[in-house]
Amino acid sequence: QVQLVESGGGLVQAGGSLRLSCAGSGRTFSRDVIAWFRQAPGKEREFVATIRWYYGIAYYSDSVKGRFTISKDIAKNAVSLEMRSLKPEDTAVYYCAAKASWSSDSYTSDVYNSWGQGTQVTVSS
């Protein structure tokens, strides 16, 4: 079982950038699928982006497409989420999640079995 730790959250102004990291430990990613979700107070957990580690194929929600980039760092056994042109509505706790293989429902949170503790991202207007 892989353990996940998020880092990189903080407070930024609208229009700014932030880079989050999701580091895996316990084993090395190979065919895993890693995703980012976010949850704001009073709202449901929302899919943000996912990457198929082996192929580097990424998929994004419409709300972040063109602004966020998910990528892998093989040397660090980690997945990064580069966030640009941040908006106040991006404010949330961001969680990374992982599962062993791809499926067509990899954009839904209930199919992931490893989760990090989350990192707070706050975007001020």
pLDDT at residue 122 in the model: 98
Average confidence score pLDDT of the chain: 96
- At 46, the amino acid letter reads E
Q: What is the CA radius of gyration of the chain?
A: 13
Query: Is the pLDDT confidence value at 1 over 80?
Result: no
For the segment 14-52, what is each residue's pLDDT rounded down to a tens digit?
999 999 999 999 999 999 999 999 999 999 999 999 999
Average pLDDT of the residues in 73-97: 98
The pLDDT score that the predictor gives to residue 103 is 87
Structure tokens at 58: 């990424």
Mean pLDDT of 104-121: 94
